[in-house]
Amino acid sequence: MSASEQLEILEEPPFILENGVKYINPTEVKMSQFILPCHANHCGELSVGQLLKWMDTTACLSAERHAHCPCVTASMDDIDFDFEQRLSVGHVVNIKAKVNRAFNTSLEVGISITSEDPCSGRQWKVCNAFATFVAKGQGSGKVQLKAVIPRTSQEKIEYSIAAERRRMRLHHLESIKDLVSSSTIQKEPDFDESQHVVPAEKTRVETVELVLPPHANHQRNSFGGQIMAWMESAATISASRFCKGHPVLKTIDMFHFRGPSQVGDRITLKAIVNNAFKESFEVGVCAEAYHQEGWDQKTHINSAFMTFVVPDKGGKLCTFPRVKPEPGDGKRRYREASARKKIRLDRKYIISCKQTEVPLSVPWDPSNQVYLSYNNVSALKILAAKQNWVLNCMQNKAKLSTLEEDHLLFFKAEMIVSVNVKQVFVLLSDMSRRHEWDTHYQRFKLIQKVDTDDVIYHVVSPSVNKASNFQDFVLLASRRVPCADGDPYLIALRSVSLPAVPPTKDLDRGEVSCAGFTLCQEGVTSTKIAYYIQTTPQVLPYITRDITGLSSDLCKIIEALNKFLEQNKDTVHMCDIG
Ligand code: COA
Ligand code: ADP
């Protein structure tokens, strides 16, 4: 086997506890399954529905290990599959799940899936996923879950970012719906009769399943994995009707379980191709439950959108004819599918990339705001969780540290101020006042107040090299209050680009990929402020001059910041926190 064939699966180094014992996360559940013909489709490849069932079962057991009571699937985040890595009969699928964080009644489980060919020893990564479960105790009362205590550095990062993923799930389910529906302003699709088009109705699937005891837990609630598997199956039939070939699932948008279903319910599944793009197409599927008590009463259980591709034998993607939507809902779904395609691309580009691979100054627009805001905050959380900082010097009671990693230089300044953390948060997150203490912020203009937590602004700074132009930056500032006690307050900054603020000749456009403040309460009246920045060529000279003692700029800024916070703390109204 060549080295390139053996895809490395990186395991975290073992974490050894104080008593010398290797730490194993108490919620970790592992499942390994041989892919047998009964799990595969007619091409001998693992059906994604079966994989979803195994993922849901493993994750649910992990959730219940933490909750100590039955849990139901509330959602499964978007999943991207690597369709080039096939999972065939004879391969082994390894699923690992652990609880990242518990909130009130819900908890997030991280799931990682790898596969192996036991004959060759080859192993490869399939995908990662995040599922949310809600604890269901006896009776109708809510279950307050105990907190997760992360131990390893990776667990601490997942714990911290889980709060951000939850925010994205909850706040943006509705806003994504708004974005999709607002895209219907576009022109009606028009079809030239000479073009080859496939009428959408030819791809329609309507099917029914009866929920039997093997599909449900001991409380008779159907397993989320089973519902997802039925939905995937209906969608795949619709996809096959459209492509007249063997469709391969590439992406699943978030599954959200709106309501439960029980043993004895009939689940109807309806699927249709909503739109086809050049080399992929979207199938929508809707699951409804007809309950035993009244056959005419149905509950909407779930709706999902799946993107399929059809690779030929050489792996090249086939191209598709256009879809002719049905009048009414069909036309609306056709346009909404285009909007979802854009949102999916933004998501993949901004979220799934490694932080260092996300390009600087991503063009901002309302449809990628949710992902940029997530990226902004999670990048700062990851930076704040980094270890092995090297203390360079102390200036004005502030500790200045640096960290070199992957050819990047990160900088951290930490100080304690005698001001309450909420007051510091309000004062520092008001970017229009930063010029009062930071000489780098010479001119400030608010470009857009995106929502209560995010603003985009333009700032002009003097250049470190007096001979050159002034610099300007277009920054997205995202602020967060703690999700739970012990979390820091946070203000994250990153560059974005906006057509309304193009670079100009008289200013050098600078970029910030990741910067911001974390604020931790230290007693009632003191706050530990940490400022982080990942250096870019434009900010590097400022930082290296200060940490090598060639400049006292930073010292003056720290002094000014202290004074600014002291003088203004009593002007802060707690309602400003929002
Ligand atoms: N994704 C993730 N979590 C979600 C969510 C979503 N789309 N919608 C709600 N939640 C979380 C909330 O954040 C809350 O968590 P918290 O207590 O930790 O803050 C928890 O669910 C309960 O929210 P609440 O608003 O009180 O309840 P709800 O009325 O919205 O009900 C479910 C949420 C998931 C319990 C409910 O929709 C349900 O029973 N769905 C079916 C679950 C099921 O049976 N699944 C198996 C297959 S059908
Ligand atoms: P929306 O219509 O906003 O997309 P729904 O929850 O009604 O949301 O449906 C989700 C998807 O399920 C639709 O986009 C469509 O692809 C599919 N679907 C819904 N109803 C039907 C139906 N009667 N026949 C076939 N497919 C359907």
Q: What pLDDT was estimated at residue 470?
A: 87
Q: Which of 173, 303, 343 to mutate to test the pocket of ligand 2 (most atoms within 8 A of CB)?
A: 303
pLDDT tens readout for residues 120-170: 999 999 999 999 999 998 777 889 999 999 999 899 999 999 999 999 888
Rounded-to-integer distance, Cα 15 and Cα 417, Å: 35
How many residues comprise the chain? 578
Pocket flag, ligand 1, residue 302 (CB < 6 Å): no
Pocket flag, ligand 1, residue 308 (CB < 6 Å): no
pLDDT tens readout for residues 551-576: 677 778 888 999 999 999 988 876 65
According to DSSP, the residues that pair with 508 across neighbouring strands are 471
**Taking Cα atoms as reference points, which of 445, 426, 447, 422 lies closest to residue 435?**
445
Mean pLDDT of 286-296: 85
Q: What pLDDT was estimated at residue 485?
A: 87
Q: What pLDDT was estimated at residue 445?
A: 94
Q: Is 541 in contact with 465 (CB distance < 8 Å)?
A: yes
Ligand 2 atom 13: residue of nearest CA: 284
- Indicate whether 404 pLDDT > 50: yes
When mean pLDDT is compared across 68-72, 377-381, 505-509, 518-522, the lowest value belongs to 505-509
pLDDT band of residue 188 (cuts 50, 70, 90) is low
**Taking Cα atoms as reference points, which of 413, 340, 352 lies closest to residue 378?**
352
Mean pLDDT of 450-461: 94
First to last CA, the chain: 58
Burial group, residue 449, by CB count within 10 angstroms (0-12, 13-18, 19+): exposed
Ligand 2 atom 11: residue of nearest CA: 284
Ligand 2 atom 22: residue of nearest CA: 270
Q: Is 524 in contact with 412 (CB distance < 8 Å)?
A: no
- Indicate whether 469 pLDDT > 80: no
Ligand 2, CB cutoff 6 Å, lining residues:
204, 270-272, 274, 284-286, 303, 329, 333
Q: Is 444 in contact with 434 (CB distance < 8 Å)?
A: yes
When mean pLDDT is compared across 70-74, 84-88, 228-232, 513-517, the lowest value belongs to 84-88
Q: What pLDDT was estimated at residue 94?
A: 97
Helix then strand then coil, in percent of the chain rounded to 5, is: 30, 35, 35
Q: Mean pLDDT for the chain?
A: 89
What backbone phi and psi angles, to 5 degrees, belong to 260? Answer: -80, 165
Mean pLDDT of 90-97: 97
Q: Which of 272, 299, 301 to mutate to test the pocket of ligand 2 (most atoms within 8 A of CB)?
A: 272
Ligand 1 atom 37: residue of nearest CA: 258
Pocket flag, ligand 1, residue 51 (CB < 6 Å): no
**More confident site: 138 or 228:** 228
- Indicate whether 449 pLDDT > 60: yes
Mean pLDDT of 298-327: 94
Q: How far is CA 381 from CA 108, 347, 371, 405, 569, in A?
A: 18, 19, 15, 16, 26
Rounded-to-integer distance, Cα 317 and Cα 26, Å: 43
2 CA to centre of ligand 1 in angstroms: 47
Ligand 1 atom 32: residue of nearest CA: 74
Q: What pLDDT was estimated at residue 4?
A: 38
Rounded-to-integer distance, Cα 287 and Cα 227, Å: 8
105 CA to centre of ligand 1 in angstroms: 8
**More confident site: 442 or 35:** 35
Mean pLDDT of 76-99: 93
Mean pLDDT of 381-397: 88
What SS3 class is residue 558?
helix
Mean pLDDT of 436-441: 90
321 token code pair: 């004819």
DSSP conformation class of 146: P
123 token code pair: 């192993």
270 CA to centre of ligand 2 in angstroms: 7
Instruction: Please name which ligand lies nearest the alpha carbon of 256.
Output: 1
pLDDT tens readout for residues 234-285: 999 999 999 988 999 999 999 999 999 999 999 999 999 999 999 999 999 9
Q: Is the pTM of this model over 0.85?
A: yes
Q: What pLDDT was estimated at residue 286?
A: 98
220 token code pair: 């008779």
**More confident site: 71 or 5:** 71
pLDDT band of residue 535 (cuts 50, 70, 90) is confident
Residue type at 34 in one-letter notation: F
Q: What pLDDT was estimated at residue 200?
A: 97
Structural domains for the chain: 3-352 (3.10.129.10), 379-576 (3.30.530.20)
- Indicate whether 193 pLDDT > 70: no
